[in-house]
A and B are shown apart, each in its own frame.
Chain A
Amino acid sequence: MLNSKIPAGKLEEKWIDYKGHCKLVNPANKRKLEVIVIGTGLAGASAAATLGELGYKVKAFCFQDSPRRAHSIAAQGGINAAKNYQNDGDSTFRLFYDTVKGGDYRSREANVHRLAEVSANIIDQCVAQGVPFAREYGGLLSNRSFGGVQVQRTFYAAGQTGQQLLIGAYQALERQVALGNVKMYSRHEMLDVVIVDDKARGIIARDLITGKLERHFGHAVLLCSGGYGNVFYLSTNAMGSNVTAAWKAHKKGAFFGNPCFTQIHPTCIPVSGDHQSKLTLMSESLRNDGRIWVPKKQNDNRKPNEISAEERDYYLERRYPAFGNLVPRDVASRAAKERCDAGYGVGTSKQAVYLDFASAIERYGRIEANKEGKEDASIEQIITWGKEVVKEKYGNLFDMYEKITGENPYETPMRIYPAVHYTMGGLWVDYELMTTVKGMYALGEANFSDHGANRLGASALMQGLADGYFVIPYTIGNYLADEIYNKPISTEHEAFAEAEKNVRERIEKLMNIKGKTSVESFHKKLGKIMWDKCGMARNEQGLKEAIVEIQQLKKEFWNDVRVPGEINEFNPELDKAGRVADFIELGELMCKDALNRSESCGGHFREESQTAEGEAMRNDDLFMHVSAWEYKGESNWDMHKENLEYEVIKPTQRNYK
């Protein structure tokens, strides 16, 4: 039933072959074809801009006040590309291999290889747009390392790579807006997909300023609405990041792929109290230079600087000598949890480990001293120089850490702990990025496709831009070429009227509950269930309990939520209520998927399935597949399997030792 439409032929020729044979739409016809793009992050902005350049009539929607604010902007560390500028043995194949291995062999070979192929084009495109990547003194682009790989292939702009890439895509998008090829709808939220004759034909959107519902026709709908990490309440996502667009699509027939695959990022600023509204990431790039440790003694309450080197346990370097502090995220997160659970955690909450820059500062200081020819420099002088180097590399991250915690990370080690960061799961898509609904596509984090069960660092930016700049412009033509015969459907069509009516009734229902409990309280409760029972470690009993608790929470929500204000006005509480209602439903599906997948793989760790050393143990005989869930009504799903076939890579137990 699931057809992934992977082209035949050799792996490295599939995409070239596809591009050579897919259908094209001539320029005159492109002007008649309308494409709706939901979300303006890296995937959405790059897709909207590129489709606009090609001549399609594009309508782009974002809930923020400007497309430039989409959460891609917060990505810090960098973007991978198989350029091999460092001459360190990198290649398209290596990037492909690292990504498949990093994903614990739960992604599609053909998709990942295509991603690696176009990665180099992304860097070229961004440089041409004026993205100010970091450079060496010779004027050429600089690279650094990220987790799970042994080459330097990450391009970056200090700790603000996502910002610079998004601004590049945003500027390209605004250029198309100025040219009239894209019409931009900011402060708009998509609340349903309209389906006519089994094809996505438009959306219902709500103007968040006036509260009015709008009908928009499109020959195709692209969901570029990001991930759903906020189902955990606390995550590194922006406050507004939500699953609503993807969830509405799911309920209209798009299957949801691997919903339980969640990435817990190892280096985030720890929770400081019940008031916490979000968590802040400290970029993975810091693990290039920071060393992670805990005291060797349990419940050691001394200050970090009072603990000597012999009394410290650099547990990643100890357990994984080959990759050390640069093991993949899932491995690093579990190792931190293991140490804290065993009583070695630090800080007031004891739910934190140290990320220490002292040795990097000294090392860089000595390099500077050598450069200056001052071998007799004092240790104080060396440290001063070293701090300057570290400031240039990570200054904005250190500033952010100090603002949040009030501690100076140049002097004392950072305290960090894992936090929800990214969701590998998402809408199931085929090779062309089309969901199980014809004409409806999912790009970037919103789809399930390229990262398997664990995403490697600096790969999210790569995938978002690959999908938007270099994949969808080809694959959408293959579909739209046959749509030129179909006239635009009037938004008076009964399918639009019906969809709008359903959206209106749901909003009215939310407003009329007039209960006692705020939306925020429900969101916090959901987050706690998800983190405790479907978080970094999961087991059968906990997941079964979580499903019951979420169903109960859903009942309470629909009986007791209090949404203040009116429908036809700017009402952020109402916006949030709709999103939290969708998160509750998604939470149930995530637990169901996690329960079903009784193996451990990547970020999905089932306690029942681990090796003697506590590493994730896959079960390839039973679970070498994508779980694609079909919505069948309230709390009811059918699971479809897409078997993963590895023709080039031979799956093995991942080893970073």
Chain B
Amino acid sequence: MEHYNMNLNLKVWRQKNSNTKGEFKMYRVENISSEMSFLEMFDVLNEKLIADGEEPIAFDHDCREGICGACSMYIDGKPHGPWHANTTCQLHMRAFKDGDTVVVEPWRANTFPVIKDLVVDRTAFDRIIQAGGYISVNTGNAVDGNALPINKDKADASFAAAMCIGCGACVAACKNSSAMLFLSAKVSHLALLPQGEPERHSRVLNMIDQMDKEGFGSCTNTGACEATCPKEISISNIAKLNQEYLCASLTSEK
């Protein structure tokens, strides 16, 4: 791979805390290697800001290998930036060229309020899981792992849904700020497995109820969530969710 260096203009959202109004600020970074990750470019910028006596830009990040789901930058109008099926931390600077201006914002959604700069509060996702995103089995109750064979295709489909990293890009990409892709991934993951069967109906009803309480929008089948998802969670999970919800509603005694 050929390496090159570049100079960039960055237009970054700055906001002191959730109570103050934010604004865009312009920054320039120089001699950025095409081999750097996007967050390493931010490290360079922050080191420069600290040296200049300014406050560095706050952003969420942790594993930097695309699996923890912490990083959450809205880059040039797309959650996680221009690459397909990718997280911000795995975006590398060879996606950009010398002289580019790059716009960086936090996730856009009322349900994800800004904490500072590019850091948002995604605890609504944890509360949706609390509403039913689990199988109620206490430690020590389990039978032998091979006592219950599971069809490989079903297990694979369940795993494909379970790959969700809970980053919230689907919500940020959606014009309605809907959390349906996130929620459907969890419902599919558990509904496709026999272990998830006993709570299948209560789970979907309770999770949807919590999603509505949090104020996430409705799904209008635009598909921006699927197009943005770093783990390529399929929108067919939303169809599965709707099916599960319908069945549960019809049979619910509540």
- Residues of chain A touching chain B, judged by Cβ–Cβ distance below 8 Å, are 46, 49-50, 53, 64-69, 71, 73-74, 83, 85, 121, 123-130, 132-141, 157-158, 160, 162-164, 167, 170-172, 174-175, 177-178, 184, 186, 209, 238-240, 272-273, 275-278, 280-281, 399-400, 403-407, 469-470, 473, 518, 520-521, 562, 564-565, 569-570, 572-573
Contact = CB atoms under 8 A, between A and B. Distances in A.
B135 A171 contact: yes
A570 B118 CA distance: 12
Contact of A277 (B58, B64, B92): B64
Contacts of A184: 126
Interface string B80-93: 00010110001010
Given A171-B135, A175-B134, A403-B83, A127 B142 contact: yes
B90 A71 contact: no
A285 B56 CA distance: 39
B63 interface: yes
A138 B155 CA distance: 12
Contact of B50 (A85, A174, A280, A564): A564
Contact of B122 (A65, A171, A276, A280): A65
A405 B43 contact: no
Contacts of B163: 160, 163
A66 B122 contact: yes
B181 to A, nearest CB: 16
A137 B115 CA distance: 47
Contacts of A209: 115
Interface in B108-122: 115-116, 119, 121-122
Contact of A129 (B44, B125, B134): B134
A238 B142 contact: no
Interface string B160-204: 001101100000000000000000000001100101100000000
Instruction: Count chain B CB atoms within 10 A of each CB in A83, A121, A277, A470 and give the residue with the most.
Output: A277
A304 to B, nearest CB: 14
A65 B115 CA distance: 11
Contacts of B126: 66-68, 174, 177, 184, 186
Given A130-B196, A564-B56, 20 more contacts: A65-B70, A124-B144, A125-B137, A129-B135, A130-B190, A132-B156, A135-B152, A135-B156, A139-B151, A157-B159, A160-B67, A172-B137, A184-B126, A209-B115, A238-B63, A238-B68, A404-B37, A570-B58, A572-B56, A573-B56
Given A239-B64, A518-B50, A69 B69 contact: yes
B8 interface: no
B129 A174 contact: yes
Given A74-B67, A564-B50, A128 B90 contact: no
20 contacts: A66-B166, A71-B62, A73-B63, A124-B144, A125-B137, A127-B142, A127-B148, A130-B190, A132-B189, A157-B159, A157-B162, A170-B129, A238-B68, A273-B35, A275-B35, A280-B64, A403-B83, A406-B92, A470-B139, A521-B47
A273 B92 CA distance: 14
A140 B146 contact: yes
Instruction: Count chain A CB atoms within 10 A of each CB in B39, B138, B143, B190 and give the residue with the most.
Output: B138
Contact of A64 (B62, B116, B136): B62
Instruction: Count chain A CB atoms within 10 A of each CB in B85, B121, B137 and give the residue with the most.
Output: B137
A238 B56 CA distance: 20
B250 interface: no
Interface residue tally of chain B, by bracket?
Answer: 35 or more
Contact of B193 (A85, A130, A175, A470): A130
A470 B138 CA distance: 12
Contacts of B165: 163
Nearest to A570: B116
B133 interface: yes
A139 B152 CA distance: 6
A135 B145 contact: no
A68 B64 contact: no
B92 A65 contact: no
Contacts of B149: 135, 138-140
B92 to A, nearest CB: 6
Contacts of A163: 67, 163, 165
B189 A85 contact: no
A130 B135 contact: yes
B241 to A, nearest CB: 16
Nearest to A562: B50
B248 interface: no
Nearest to A142: B152
A572 B63 contact: no
Contacts of A239: 61-64
Nearest to A53: B138
B9 interface: no
Contacts of B193: 130, 132
Contacts of B158: 130, 132
Instruction: Count chain A CB atoms within 10 A of each CB in B51, B83, B145 and give the residue with the most.
Output: B145
Contacts of B138: 50, 53
B33 interface: yes
B222 interface: no
B66 interface: yes
